[in-house]
A = this chain, B = another copy of it.
Amino acid sequence: MSTETIRAGILGATGYTGGILAAILQQHPQVEVKSYGSRSYVGKRYDKEFRNLFGLPGAERPCEEENPAALAEEVDVLFLATPQGMAAGLVTDALLNKVKVIDLSADFRFDDLSVYEKWYGLKAADVKINAEAVYGLPELYRDKIRTARLVANPGCYTTCSILTAYPLVKERLIDPHTIIVDALSGVSGAGRGAKVDNLFCEVNESAKPYGIATHRHTPEIEEHLSGAAGEPVVISFTPHLVPMNRGILATVYATLKGQDSDAVRAAYEKYYGDEPFVRLLENDMNADTKWVEGSNFIDIAYTIDPRTNRIVMNAALDNLMKGAASQAVQNMNLMFGFEESSGLNFIPVFP
């Protein structure tokens, strides 16, 4: 295990994900944050925008213009918590020769860039750079992450959905063509932009689906489940917004190929039995966003329904943590040879 200390820069530090990244890195024993990049708050003290950090060492630093090339001279790792489409234009071979990059946008998440262009309507990244990017889901791709120069950090819904269904698809326990993912998200998933739709009074007492059949996380889930299935998999994915700050809850339906609960549990144990951040719940428990909030955990559970011959998997994670910032730090730990859980042993907040 490396015990060195590295320097980090955050682009997009004044969004919710950037703010959590800053807080996690503030506590990380082997990282020093050297720059808070922002487009909206340049020149303002970071700890007056994110007052949870008020008075903490280094957090009084003002937000800076986002200049990855210049930053690359000063830091060892660059986190891009920037809007979709920005990273594609920023990451070059020259940059990657100087710093390791962890991109939290979707720009490098797809093997097939035409899928990106179709679902995002944005110009895709350079093919060669994209080919080098590793999808940052440590539970599935740990070894590749260790040696990557560029990691594409997964989305929140996707981390939750892929980890939940992957073992059962891979082990041929469910019919992948019957997969339906019905998911709930807290409001922070919509970001910190000033929009009427995300005002307290609009969201409170509201539960609603959105982006039905068109949400951009759909093809990301499909790519990895297709990989598990060994054939193209198309799913239904319906996200919903519910009135809480954080959390993803995914309820995943599929038709069973058998009804052997032991085989299901064995499959989960095979893939996650030794994982530090995946908690397989017991048979009498369901996933609940409450019990993972503020941590890097994903909790997974399942119920077999003999009446319909379907399995109902369910899983919960914190969208800003395992669904974004803490997973990015988990990837960083792997890329720099640190203890994988270094700086990530947060106990979920309750109550």
Contacts and interface: CB of A to CB of B under 8 A. Distances in A.
Interface residues on A, range: 35 or more
A85 interface: no
Among A186, A187, A243, A279: residue with most chain B CB under 10 A: A243
A235 interface: yes
Copy count, this protein chain: 4
A182 B54 contact: no
Interface stretch (A92-100, A136-144, A162-170, A289-297): A289-297
B288 A206 contact: yes
A27 interface: yes
B188 A351 contact: yes
Contacts of A182: 182, 238, 251, 253
A310 interface: yes
Given A194-B196, A312-B236, A208 B56 contact: no
A48 B349 CA distance: 15
Nearest to A235: B308
Nearest to A55: B279
Given A290-B205, A312-B236, A351 B245 contact: yes
A290 to B, nearest CB: 4
Nearest to A56: B347
Interface stretch (A30-38, A126-134, A209-217): A209-217
Contacts of A180: 180, 253, 310
